[in-house]
Chains A and B, each alone.
Chain A
Amino acid sequence: MITELISKQLKAIVGDKYFRTDQEALIAHSYDGTPMLQALPDGVIYPETTEQVSEIMKIASANRIPIVTRGSGSNLCGGTTPLSGGIVMVMHRMNKIIEVDMENLTATVQPGVITQHFSSHIEELRLFYPPDPSSMKISTIGGNIAECSGGLRGLKYGTTKDYVLGLTAVLANGSIIHTGGKLTKDVAGYDLTKLLVGSEGTLAVITEAILKLIPPPKTKKTMIAMYKDIYGAARTVSKIIKQQIIPATLEILDNPTIRVVDDFAKIGLPLDMAAILIIEQDGEPEMVERDIEKIYSICREEQADRLEIAKTREEAEKLLTARRSAFTALARLRPTTILEDATVPRSKIADMVLKTNAIAQKYNVNIATFGHAGDGNLHPTATTDARDKDEVHRVEEAFAEIFEAAIELGGTITGEHGVGVVKAPYLEWKVGEAGIEVMKGIKTAFDPLNLLNPDKMFAKQAKKRVVIQRG
């Protein structure tokens, strides 16, 4: 409950305009990008500085008010839906790029910076920040850090965690901590930086980040390989990696995905193909040429029907942008789109595609598959209708089995979207009982009153496993 007094105190910190309890604000912060999930907060606050966040946390702690930190609310695991009410803390006003250090190749930013703005700014300075989640047009760096977002370049360049060098964060009690720094080496104590990356707002509120930048690749080449048989495409992926070629991007799209993406982007994708691979290599010109040539012949060996190399950078960018729209574009088929991100070792990608399709058939649900095939991270996406309770139940059952299949293949329940509330019941399948216990211990150390993004990460009860095998 937010009393008159608390409201007054919070307004005194951020200004009248930036603490809201009106109906409109509550409704507009009751959801994120996750389907079938909505819960009203009791208030919405927009801080501008680390100090303000600290003051807010002190009041929240004193009054036991849950705080759900949020960037643009584009996450897909229910990570920023305020299930226990409380206050949603929107980081949009903290959107400055504080510094780009050209000597240390680092950038210091506030969490509300839009990923794409940051990325373009860095590219203008002839540097490179690789993490590129599909939502980068609207996602914030803070959100990316909280969820440890991946993206199309994860295969070669890693994900957000590989680019965070240091953080400023506010703990639940209002203390401010600084972790890491502009350092390539730092073993002073536990690595709290890495711990906070991907902690989904459950441990602290991130208010500043030092990010690693790298020199940009000299050239890029992008190609598209088209297959009449989806397993041929999947086998190509495993074979490319086996031959020790690591492309910058290696994406797969199956037929239903190709259709909706082209319906949106209108770039002339081959609608008659069972699957396509979008492959990009970057680096030194000679290496790029050599790799693309090798990939070309692997595609041929695996019966690719057609192969095309993008003629211009613009054409390549259009292709990648179109790919980024895949998830939402699938909503053209049915009103509700449920997307997961089960991930397997790269060598198992063909097996995973086979299993997913068999499971979809078993439960009689529509599952389209696309994703970052090169890093084993697929996005099986069910297109359904939230109003059809029976079908939605079958979709949930199918996904439980997909998670199980992924774990059996040595994979994980989520590669880059996070646990949030959606995958909390499955977390124990991946990390085991002891794993859950140690994670809960960490949570308590940071946030003893359980105020930071409660209800996330840990389910009240783990879901019963479909098949009991290794954990």
Chain B
Amino acid sequence: MASTFGKPNIEHSNPLARTLLEKLDYDQLTNCMRCGFCLPACPTFNETGMEPASPRGRIAMMKAAVDGLMEPDEQFKDQMNLCLGCRACEPACPADVKYGQLIEQTKEALEEHAQHSAPVKIMRKTLFKGVFPKRGSMKVLGGSLAFYQKSGLQKVARGTGIMKLFPKHLAEMEQILPEASSKGVVERMGTFYAAKGKKVGTVAMFRGCIMDVMFADTNVNTVELLSAAGFDVHIPDAQVCCGALYAHSGEMEDARALAKTNIDVFKELGVDYIVSNAGGCGALLIEYDHLLAQDEQYREDGKWFAERVIDISTLLVEKGNPLEFADKSSQTEHVKVTYQDSCHLRNVMKGSSAPRTLMKNVANAEYIEMVESDRCCGSAGTYNVVQPEMAGSILEHKMVHADRTEASYMLTSNPGCLLQMKLGIEKHKPQQPMQAMHIVDFLHERMLCSK
């Protein structure tokens, strides 16, 4: 919405307030009319019952800070960081307030004034400057994780109780880490994989950092599903991290730099679609247009890129040759399946129906909708690491609903959610044995043949 009135003319003495005034989109702040429709959608409001922990409350605080009604103090920062960034408030908002942009702008401002403790600084630097942007480092990380797991070190670590030295939530997470691999999808399949059967299009696969190290099998299965559905699949090796972890942590400049690299790499291939199998990555990829809206050189290319981003499930349902899925092991008995939405796939990529369509299409499987399947599981990127208490309480409620489905499989569409579901199952032990799985792996296992 165009506005002719702009921002308030205030000289803030507080440096953070100044940056907030500079970064926050004042029109968006004004667009929030405080109707409160977002409140029931917000996980942190539901956990706390406190208005400040709601989207309406957070926007009011952002605006109050900009308007000079409040000092953006420690409490302000904590409240902003308590937001999961699940963006469930956006589809709930009739006024179409871009909350995701507001919280990102706020986090960018906070980051500019952040005084991280020494260990956090080192961790951020290693991860953000050293590991994620560099493909090689991710492989080394994957390799060392694999070594840790396969060499017996993991057993030793668990046996000696050395993990007890770590905070409890990190120790719990260590237990559910999947087998990592230093061989990603390109190392296994090359950079091109041809369509099987009648060709319907050409796509490029976005492999993701975490996906390709911890869930490389899922990436391989994704390519095979795409191929079976009639797509030629490019897997450009020069692609880099999508930038989501940076954007959500307020490191916007780094996120933009990564976006530009990816745009250059994918643009060259001239594909019909750019496929993601991780809602968290896809949601940022699909907003490259917004991310680069102020960049004259990349604005158009950002749009080109964003228009092509699609989730694997949506692509299979809407564009691919129909595939048949059936449980091969038990022909008679129905296996119960349920699903945890990836918030970013649902709220940003608007891709909540396709995974359900696919699951319902699996013969011998019964799809059970979990209560509040659309509510964040508490994983939310690095949230479960930095906000263990809130994440833990959200997960506990989630697992109560999971248990009630009596499903044998808990499927998801994002690595963070998948790990969180594994953690939930490990920690809260549903009455029925339950296995958390990426929907791609579940479907791949049951793929019969293309029609």
Contacts and interface: CB of A to CB of B under 8 A. Distances in A.
A436 B39 CA distance: 37
A23 B71 contact: yes
B33 A336 contact: yes
B36 A138 contact: yes
Given A33-B36, A135-B35, A90 B30 contact: no
Interface stretch (A160-168, A324-332, A340-348, A360-368): A324-332
Interface string A90-110: 101100000000000000000
A33 B33 contact: yes
Main secondary structure of the interface of B (DSSP, over half): loop
Given A24-B52, A27-B69, A329-B94, A73 B36 contact: yes
B52 A28 contact: yes
Nearest to A88: B51
A24 B95 contact: no
B155 to A, nearest CB: 43
B60 A325 contact: no
Interface string B27-44: 100110111110110000
Contacts of A40: 69
A32 interface: yes
Contact of B76 (A24, A31, A38): A24
Given A22-B75, A23-B71, A27-B69, A335 B36 contact: no
A22 B73 CA distance: 11
Interface string B45-79: 00001111010010011001000011101011001
Contacts of A73: 34, 36, 51
B95 A328 contact: yes
A388 interface: yes
A337 B33 contact: yes
Interface string A297-326: 000000000000000000000000000011
B183 to A, nearest CB: 43
B93 interface: yes
A443 interface: no
Contact of A27 (B5, B50, B70, B95): B70
Given A328-B95, A329-B94, A27 B35 contact: no
A335 B93 contact: no
A155 interface: no
B94 A334 contact: no
Main secondary structure of the interface of A (DSSP, over half): loop
B36 A72 contact: yes
A387 interface: yes
Nearest to B29: A335
Contacts of A90: 51
B180 to A, nearest CB: 41
B13 interface: no
Contact of A23 (B34, B40, B73): B73
Interface in B124-166: none
A386 to B, nearest CB: 7
Interface in A136-150: 137-138
A199 interface: no
B1 interface: yes
Interface in A18-43: 22-25, 27-35, 38, 40
A148 B5 CA distance: 37
A136 to B, nearest CB: 10
B3 interface: yes
B30 A386 contact: yes
A327 B95 CA distance: 9
A117 B95 CA distance: 23
A264 B94 CA distance: 6
Contact of A28 (B27, B60, B73, B96): B60
B94 A331 contact: yes
A51 interface: no
Contacts of B95: 328-329, 331-332, 337
A23 B72 CA distance: 9
A73 B35 CA distance: 8
Contacts of A137: 37, 40
A33 B34 contact: yes
Contacts of A116: 40
A138 B37 contact: yes
A328 B37 contact: yes
A388 B5 contact: yes
Nearest to A386: B30
A269 B39 CA distance: 27
Nearest to A337: B33
A138 B57 CA distance: 14
Contacts of B51: 25, 28-29, 73, 90
Contacts of B94: 264, 325-329, 331-332
Interface in B68-112: 69-71, 73, 75-76, 79, 93-96
Contacts of B52: 24-25, 27-28
A33 B36 CA distance: 7
Contact of B61 (A24, A135, A327): A24
Interface string A387-415: 11000000000000000000000000000
A14 to B, nearest CB: 13
A385 interface: yes
B75 A74 contact: no
Q: Which of A114, A263, A331 has the most CB of B within 10 A?
A: A331
A73 B71 CA distance: 24
Contacts of A35: 33
B36 A331 contact: no
A328 B61 contact: no
Contacts of B71: 23
B62 to A, nearest CB: 10
B96 A138 contact: no
Nearest to A22: B75
B40 A138 contact: yes
Contacts of B39: 72, 138
Interface in B307-346: none
Interface string B268-305: 00000000000000000000000000000000000000
Nearest to B57: A28
A27 to B, nearest CB: 5
Nearest to A74: B36
A327 B33 CA distance: 10
B60 A31 contact: yes
Q: Which of A27, A33, A336 has the most CB of B within 10 A?
A: A27
A74 B51 CA distance: 12
A38 B96 CA distance: 22
A23 B30 contact: no
Q: Which of A23, A35, A114, A334 has the most CB of B within 10 A?
A: A23
B121 to A, nearest CB: 27
Interface string B164-179: 0000000000000000
A22 B76 CA distance: 11
Interface in A108-144: 114, 116, 135, 137-138
A334 B96 CA distance: 11
B37 A336 contact: no
Given A28-B61, A325-B94, A329-B94, A23 B70 contact: yes
Given A23-B70, A328-B94, A387-B30, A30 B36 contact: no
Contact of B35 (A93, A264, A328): A328
Given A28-B54, A31-B34, A92-B49, 9 more contacts: A23-B76, A25-B52, A27-B60, A30-B60, A31-B60, A72-B39, A328-B35, A385-B30, A386-B30
10 contacts: A27-B61, A28-B61, A74-B35, A137-B37, A325-B94, A329-B95, A332-B96, A335-B3, A385-B3, A387-B3
Leading 10 A-B pairs by shortest Cβ distance: A331-B95, A328-B94, A387-B5, A325-B94, A329-B94, A28-B57, A28-B51, A335-B30, A28-B52, A74-B36
